[in-house]
Amino acid sequence: MSSTFTIAIDGPAGAGKGTLARRLADHYRLNLLDTGLTYRAVAHALLQVGLPLDNVSAAETAARQVDLARLDRAVLSAHAVGEAASKVAVFPTVRRILVEKQRDFAKAPPGAVLDGRDIGTVVCPDADIKLYVTASAEVRAKRRLAEIESIGGTADFAEILADIERRDERDMGRADSPLKPAADAHLLDTSEMAIEAAFLAAMAVIDDALAKRNKA
């Protein structure tokens, strides 16, 4: 049996997987990687020098330069960077470079929680636990609006919803590694579930797997 423990969390933008991943990594004392930041870092590098997002060779170079230890969430969390990340994420060669780094990260003891779009299907198909966290587009849009308003901003609900639907379509519709639940993923629909309830549901699944593993 391997000495690492891997938890793969996938799902669409805004479903709450980032918060859940952080809570689980803290609780089980595992390393944590938000793989969306790696695609965001590539997009950000292109945006910074004004290169188009479909410049594949520049995106490959930027992907090779991504250093997982230096991903700056504050810079990369901008909404426009997320949208751009979804565009560079369609290129198979860019994905291959980033996936290799993500797999290396997962291999380091004691193991890791990785969240993204293709963790259970492509990056870590042998993960000990796979969770697919989702919520309706309307609920995700409402949450984003509340988040923006909580920091004093304003936004239009219909625009946010359209944005979310466009991003879903791109992430689920691309040819390489589209967003979809792995066949053996546990589904967590957070539409009517607070993050605490999602955390407890995930813990129940994980504790059960750990108990079986310790018995084996």
The answer to the question of residue 11 lying near ligand DC (CB under 6 A) is no
Closer residue to ligand DC, CB minimum distance, 155 or 210: 155
Interface residue with ligand DC among 82, 112, 127, 140 (CB under 6 A) is 82
C-beta of 12: minimal distance to ligand DC in Å?
8
Closer residue to ligand DC, CB minimum distance, 118 or 128: 118
3-state secondary structure of 143: helix
Q: Which of the 8 DSSP states describes residue 1?
A: -
Residue 132, Ramachandran bin (φ over 0: left; ψ between -120 and 50: alpha; else beta): beta
How far is Cα of residue 66 from the mean position of the Cα atoms in its chain?
Answer: 16
Q: How many residues bind ligand DC (CB under 6 A)?
A: 14
Using an 8 Å Cβ cutoff, are 151 and 144 in contact? no
Residue 175 tokens read as 């040819």
The answer to the question of residue 86 lying near ligand DC (CB under 6 A) is yes
Interactions with ligand DC, residue window 16-55 (CB under 6 A):
35-36, 39-40
Q: Which of the 8 DSSP states describes residue 40?
A: H
Using an 8 Å Cβ cutoff, are 106 and 112 in contact? yes
* Segment interacting with ligand DC, rule: CB under 6 A, options 23-31, 46-54, 58-66, 111-119: 111-119
3-state secondary structure of 85: helix
Interface residue with ligand DC among 15, 63, 97, 116 (CB under 6 A) is 116
How far is Cα of residue 146 from the mean position of the Cα atoms in its chain?
Answer: 21
Interface residue with ligand DC among 9, 89, 139, 160 (CB under 6 A) is 89
Owner of token pair 């969306």: 36
The answer to the question of residue 118 lying near ligand DC (CB under 6 A) is yes
C-beta of 35: minimal distance to ligand DC in Å?
4
Question: Which residues contact ligand DC by CB under 6 A?
Answer: 13, 35-36, 39-40, 82, 85-86, 89, 116-118, 167, 171
